[in-house]
């Protein structure tokens, strides 16, 4: 297993792999968290492309061992495909009020965090190769959220990249994406921070500034 000095270094290693193929292609990067922006910014600088973020948050029931669903900051919800259609129907019926309350709370938290900056723009993705970036994947549920978001948008190609991911997450990457790049495949991910020596993150306002100023740092 390769450990990374920082998210910036991991992003630079991913950029090394992507640059030859996509430096002169029309690309856009979608990051799944603040940490992913630190990774994705290195790729965006090298590929000369736009950078944005689609935040997601988990909804979990105390009575269930698995995450029930992921919701994005725009309100799109994707249910865990580990549950059968029948199981989901029963769970949703029994917990309708709780799920609706969780959706509102999660959306409020994510949009408060985002403020007015860094919000994803469908027009910037249209007709481009979309590179979805994570800073590490324990499972593939957040990938389903972004894939669902992209369905109505006409893009050239969907590329999913991460410095490391679990076997199950990589399986989902293969299902959802036209192309994947993962530097390390693990049986199980302990935690995302575990694989970085430096876990320093700038405040969210700085992350938004990185997104907005990315064009100034193209290399």
If pLDDT is split at 50, 70 and 90, which confidence band does 46 have?
A: very high
Region 150-163 average pLDDT: 96
The answer to whether 133 and 31 have CB atoms below 8 angstroms apart is: yes
Q: Residue 219: what pLDDT?
A: 61
Instruction: Tell the residue number behind the tokens 């736009």, with chain if given.
Output: 50
Tell me the per-residue pLDDT of 95-145, one tens digit each, with 9 for 90 and over: 889 888 888 888 887 777 666 555 677 888 999 999 999 999 988 888 988
| Ranges 45-59, 60-74, 157-171, most confident | 157-171
The answer to whether 214 and 42 have CB atoms below 8 angstroms apart is: no
Residues 6+ apart with CB under 8 A from 56: 32, 70, 71, 72, 73, 110, 142, 145, 146
Q: Is the pLDDT of residue 61 over 90?
A: no
List, edge to edge, every strand of the sheet that includes 56-59. 56-59, 69-72, 77-79
Architecture category of domain 7-54+120-217 in CATH: 3-Layer(aba) Sandwich (3.40)
- Both tokens of 65, joined, read 């061992």
Q: Residue 19: what pLDDT?
A: 95
Where exactly are the structural domains of the chain?
7-54+120-217, 57-114
2 or 51, higher pLDDT: 51
86 or 74, higher pLDDT: 86
CA distance 40 to 33: 10
Contacts 24+ apart (CB under 8 A), 37-40: 37/118, 37/207, 37/210, 37/211, 38/6, 38/7, 38/8, 38/11, 38/135, 38/201, 38/207, 38/210, 39/7, 39/8, 39/10, 39/11, 39/14, 39/133, 39/134, 39/135, 39/163, 40/11, 40/131, 40/133
Q: What is the mean pLDDT of the chain?
A: 88
């Amino acid at each position: 297993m390769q450990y990374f000095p920082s998210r910036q270094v991991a992003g630079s290693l991913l950029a090394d792999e992507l640059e030859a193929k996509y430096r002169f292609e029309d690309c856009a990067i979608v990051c799944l968290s603040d940490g992913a922006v630190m990774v994705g910014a290195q790729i965006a600088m090298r590929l000369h492309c736009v950078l944005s973020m689609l935040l997601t948050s988990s909804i979990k029931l105390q009575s269930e061992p698995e995450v029930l669903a992921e919701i994005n900051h725009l309100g799109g919800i994707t249910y865990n495909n580990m549950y059968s259609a029948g199981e989901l129907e029963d769970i949703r019926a029994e917990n309708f009020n709780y799920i609706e309350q969780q959706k509102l709370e999660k959306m409020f938290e994510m949009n408060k965090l985002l403020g007015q900056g860094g919000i994803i723009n469908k027009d910037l993705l249209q007709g481009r190769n979309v590179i979805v970036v994570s800073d590490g994947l324990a499972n593939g549920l957040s990938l389903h959220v972004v894939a669902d978001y992209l369905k109505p948008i006409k893009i050239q190609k969907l590329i999913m990249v991460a410095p490391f991911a679990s076997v199950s997450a990589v399986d989902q990457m293969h299902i959802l994406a036209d192309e994947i790049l993962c530097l390390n495949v693990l049986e199980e991910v302990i935690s995302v921070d575990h694989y970085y020596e430096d876990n320093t993150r700038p405040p969210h306002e700085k992350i938004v500034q990185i997104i907005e100023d990315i064009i100034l740092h193209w290399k």
